[in-house]
Structure 1
Amino acid sequence: MLIIIGNQKGGAGKSTTSLALANYLTSAKKCPVTVIDMDYQQSLYQKFEKAKILENKEPYEVLSATLETFPVLKDVLIKNSKDVVLIDLPGKLDDDGLLAVFTAADLFICPFAYDEFTFESTMLFTLVLRKVNPKIKMVFIPNRIKANAKFEIMEEVNAQLSKFGVITDILPDRIDFQRINTFQTPISLYPVIIPVFEKIYADHLYGKHEIAG
């Protein structure tokens, strides 16, 4: 299973979502996971290298990779149906190397916010990806949503995005998301991430990672 996580809009939370999902799949579901950091900032790979100093056993590998190396990496990493590979995508659509990644992906996870600019970026990314890979499954995660905020465009955004995929429960704007690392997610976050990630697991991963390998 190849899962890509991305959005053109900077600050949408794709790297944090990638870490939180990797932690959830390895700790709660015992899935074998590899994370590929293709983002230009390489924040996930840097967190991984920093955490290794603690000399704890890493629950999964984080690889620093470029779009050019993806075709070879894909064949090495996805050897059977139980392997889960998460890719933190670059934020831009103007690189032809993304086409191979888009074509190979099974699932697209898109964190987004309810504002007009983010919505436009999300829709553009979604339309391009669907054109390149018409069969890909899509999941949209309302992310960093502030408590008690009123979003006039929420209904419109949900109506448009639901034409392409599933919209999950929201992930609130909480300071403890900043404490997620490549070893663990703060236990305080589990009540809010479980409804989101459990649905992704049930709809797209349940049973598949247990197939003989």
Structure 2
Amino acid sequence: MSKCPILVAFSNQKGGVGKSTVTAVLASYFNYVKGLNVAVVDCDYPQFSLDKLRGRDLKNLEKSEYHQRLFCRQFENSSRKAYPIVTSTPEEAAKIPGRLEGDYDLISFDLPGTVNSRGVFESVTNMDFIFIPIVKDRMVMQSSLSFVSTV
């Protein structure tokens, strides 16, 4: 990898606040709309939500002519390939950028919903940016503020 990509983590010690959703939406925006070369690292063990979602999408493509036509139309309109999603444990996440084939402008990391998972804190400290998604809920806000002060 010759470029030095921007590393972005989506993290919060509270589960269910939209980390995976925000990761996917922003990765798609930067890849398909802005034309950046993007990779996603799904570190949200054991769920690996983004990896499972990609697998489900691929199965739908195999089964459905309708989805195949939509995919072809999207590719013809943007000529952008789907960004890669790789799985990793949080403790191995820092090594992933050097292992990816290709030059990436942006690598997004979807981290687990707890700082108690091994490697989460270390992963966060290696990032250029950390996004902490929250929802309007007192417990989530308190947990998120605690997470921010810990980081």
The unaligned stretches of length 5 or more in structure 2 are 1-5, 63-70, 76-80
Task: Tell me the number of residue pairs that the alignment of Structure 1 and Structure 2 aligns.
Answer: 128
Residues 99 and 111 of structure 1, relative CA distance in 2, 3 Å threshold: closer
Partner of 1:198: none
Deviations, residues 28-63 of structure 1 (Å, cap 9, x unaligned): 100111111111211110011122231657510111
Partner of 1:83: 105
Q: What SS does the aligned partner of 1:11 have?
A: coil
Partner of 1:46: 52
Partner of 1:94: 116
Task: Look up the equivalent residue of 2:24 and give its one-letter code.
Answer: L
Moved over 6 A (4+): none
Q: Would you say 1:66 and 2:66 are equivalent positions?
A: no
Residues 31 and 112 of structure 1, relative CA distance in 2, 3 Å threshold: same
Work out whether residues 115 and 121 of structure 2, in 8 Å CA contact, stay in contact via their aligned partners in 1: no
Alignment of 1:59-208 (within 5 A): 59-77=82-100, 83-129=105-151
Task: Look up the equivalent residue of 1:48 and give its one-letter code.
Answer: R
Work out whether residues 78 and 84 of structure 1, in 8 Å CA contact, stay in contact via their aligned partners in 2: no
Q: Would you say 1:28 and 2:33 are equivalent positions?
A: yes
Q: CA deviation at 1:79?
A: 7.9
What percent identity do the matched residue pairs reach?
31
TM norm structure 1: 0.55
| Matching residue within 2, 10, 14 for 2:7 | 2
The unaligned stretches of length 5 or more in structure 1 are 130-213
Q: What SS does the aligned partner of 2:133 have?
A: strand
Work out whether residues 17 and 134 of structure 2, in 8 Å CA contact, stay in contact via their aligned partners in 1: yes
Give the structure, 1 or 2, with the largest relative contact order (CA under 8 Å, sep 6 or more).
Answer: 2
Work out whether residues 77 and 85 of structure 1, in 8 Å CA contact, stay in contact via their aligned partners in 2: no
Work out whether residues 41 and 93 of structure 2, in 8 Å CA contact, stay in contact via their aligned partners in 1: no
Deviations, residues 158-180 of structure 1 (Å, cap 9, x unaligned): xxxxxxxxxxxxxxxxxxxxxxx
* CA distance in structure 1 between the partners assigned to 2:102 and 2:128 by the alignment: 15
* CA distance in structure 2 between the partners assigned to 1:60 and 1:79 by the alignment: 11
* CA distance in structure 2 between the partners assigned to 1:44 and 1:93 by the alignment: 19
Task: Look up the equivalent residue of 2:43 and give its one-letter code.
Answer: M
Work out whether residues 36 and 106 of structure 2, in 8 Å CA contact, stay in contact via their aligned partners in 1: yes
Task: Look up the equivalent residue of 2:123 and give its one-letter code.
Answer: V
TM norm structure 2: 0.75
